[in-house]
Amino acid sequence: MLPDFDSNAAFIWASYSVGLLFIGGAMASVWLKARAAKTELIRIEARIRDQKRG
Amino acid sequence: MFTGESSADMASPAPIFSAFRQALGEAWAGGAGALLPVGFFAGAAVLVPLGVGTDPETLRTIGPGILWVSLALSSLVTLERIFQADAEDGSLDLWLQTSAPAASIAAAKTFAHWLTAGLPLALLSPSLLLMFQAQIGDALLENMLYYAIGGLAFYFWGGVGAALAATVRRGGLLISLIALPLYVPTAIFGALAMGDGPSSAAAPLFLAASTLFALAVAPFAMGAALRLAAD
Amino acid sequence: MFSWFANPHRFLMLSSWLAPLFYAAAALLIAWGLWQGLWMVPKDDYQGGDIMRVMFIHVPAAWLAMASYLGMAVMSFVWFIWRHEVADIAAKAIAPLGATWTALCLATGAIWGKPTWGTWWQWDDARMMSVLFMFFLFLGYMALRAAMDTRQKAARAGAILAMVGALNVPLIKFSVDLFTSLHQDASVITPEGPKMAAVYLWPLLISSLGHSLLFAALVMTLMRAEIWTRRAAQSRVRLMTGD
């Protein structure tokens, strides 16, 4: 059900694909970075708690 | 090196002149410093026609632009060492301890390097342009002035990059990356000043104005960056 | 007002609900903009046919490229004067995202340019040139921060560069406009005509808003990641010193 474009269809799809790629890539890398940071923080704080207990 | 200044409360001009003299001496390097502008001159004059072809009309058209590029490159090459050497051997700390503001020290050094490398290239520009098939009546002296003014801006903006990258090993690429956007207005106004389009009448004024802007702003940025480098 | 935001803990509290909200709103707005831009909006033969639909992804990106640099410069200035850590974290976070949207603007601009003007790159286009230099400003900022040894130095160096860059942006734009005004064809198609019909304007504005909200949400997420990373580093020190 994709729209039917005139002769420049390839360019239109290319530009929106680039948009999807760049924006999607940015979102993915930001979310991964955030998740990694959160995980690391939780891990370190757990170790501190263990150290205090032990 | 320091003339035994008593600790004055007011900023003393003596360290600024010392900085200027020292940088001048460093840049000149007993005659070796003169090699740099001559080297760029020769490189542009010889390599470009070899690469681009010897058609006189082509050379006449691109000549002025090639010289702007040479000027920009010469600034980046010189400035890469200017602050890094001081940061490495600890003399930066000494300069910052003097009563003169860091911005003035930085400006003095940058000006010295422009005098030894940038200005000579501007002064040599008529010969170079003639080699690029310019005609005698082609405002060669006027263009010399534009190269001088524009080169000054290149050196001061390049100095900001050099100061920021002073503590970075092999910071040459970083300096170029920082300096490139800052060079754009000067390059554009300089090129327009040498052309004959409708904007060309105002372009020399814009060129001078943007150089003045560089002279006003860059020293403070350099000073802040040098204080950072010394910490 | 700034001091209220300066507290990292408060920022984390605020962004924990604000960021998801922005993501959700952005998704809706961008989806609507896409639907309009690709399906609903009629093609305009005067503007070159369907190719003008690229405007709905290119123009928001251009707008964000400029606005995000300004945001980065303002945050740098705030940090420089008041030394609020959160301001520096914001500037650091904006840079890679600003660079991404700037690259997007350049890429979509080139793709738009090829069928429209016959060339991938147009030195005579003032906007293209200005955005290219904005891209270099972002890259230089990121490279400089990365080259510094400590966080404090990175913050200071970045602030100096961001502010110097910001002072030069009007000058760069002016010089580029002067340069390109010599060569501009009368038939150059501008993305924003003075008489843009509402049917095109609304999707453009809504898309721009959607992109901006997405950008802001991503900046907040990246800032959260940075705050967590710094906290982890501090905790690691406590761990090692047996505190």
The pLDDT of residue C139 is: 96
Question: Higher-confidence residue: C196 or C223?
Answer: C223
pLDDT band for C89, please (50, 70, 90 cuts).
Answer: very high
Question: Tokens standing for B35?
Answer: 């090699």
User: Does the pLDDT at position C236 exceed 70?
Assistant: yes
Which of B199, B213, B228 is the best residue to mutate to test the C interface, defined by the most C CB atoms within 10 Å of its own CB? B228
ipTM of the modeled complex:
0.89
Strand partners, C44: C49
The pLDDT of residue B4 is: 46
Burial label, B99 (beta-carbon count in 10 A; 0-12, 13-18, 19+): middle
The pLDDT of residue C187 is: 34
pTM, to two decimals: 0.89
| Residue C8 belongs to some domain of the structure | no
Q: What is the DSSP string of C48-70?
A: TBGGGGGHHHHHHHHHHHHHHHH
The pLDDT of residue A26 is: 96
Please give the average per-residue pLDDT across C1-19, as a whole number: 84
Chain A positions in Cβ-Cβ contact with residue C89 (cut-off 8 Å): none
- Please report, as a single letter, which amino acid is at residue C154: A
- Compute the mean pLDDT over every residue in chain B, rounded to the nearest whole number: 85
- Is C156 in Cβ contact with B164 (below 8 Å)? no
Question: Higher-confidence residue: B192 or B198?
Answer: B192
The pLDDT of residue C189 is: 43
Strand partners, C152: none
User: Does the pLDDT at position C132 exceed 60?
Assistant: yes
The H or E element that residue C98 is part of is: helix C85-117
What single-letter DSSP state applies at residue C183? T
The pLDDT of residue B18 is: 85
From A18, A22, A37, residue closest to C225, measured CB to CB: A37
The pLDDT of residue B12 is: 60
User: Does the pLDDT at position A1 exceed 70?
Assistant: no
Q: Domain span at residue A35?
A: 28-54
Chain A positions in Cβ-Cβ contact with residue C118 (cut-off 8 Å): none
| B188 contact C CB<8A | yes
Chain B positions in Cβ-Cβ contact with residue C149 (cut-off 8 Å): 167
| Residue A52 belongs to some domain of the structure | yes
The pLDDT of residue A20 is: 94
Tell me the HSE value of C216 on the side-chain side, using a 13 A CA sphere: 21
The pLDDT of residue B26 is: 79
pLDDT band for B6, please (50, 70, 90 cuts).
Answer: very low
The pLDDT of residue B8 is: 46
User: How many domains, chain A?
Assistant: 1
Please give the average per-residue pLDDT across B103-111, as a whole number: 93
Torsion of CA A26, A28, A30, A31, to 10 degrees: 160
Which of C88, C179, C181 is the best residue to mutate to test the B interface, defined by the most B CB atoms within 10 Å of its own CB? C179
pLDDT band for C182, please (50, 70, 90 cuts).
Answer: low
| Residue C14 belongs to some domain of the structure | no
| Residue A36 belongs to some domain of the structure | yes
Contacts of residue C103, Cβ cutoff 8 Å, sequence gap at least 6? A22, C135
Whole-angstrom distance, CA of residue B113 vs CA of residue B217: 18
Task: Of B33-37, B108-112, B180-184, give the lowest mean pLDDT range.
Answer: B33-37
Please give the average per-residue pLDDT across C21-48, as a whole number: 84
| A13 contact C CB<8A | no
Which of A21-25, A47-51, B197-201, C177-181 has the largest mean confidence?
A21-25
| Residue C46 belongs to some domain of the structure | yes
Contacts of residue B205, Cβ cutoff 8 Å, sequence gap at least 6? none
Q: Domain span at residue C81?
A: 19-183+194-240
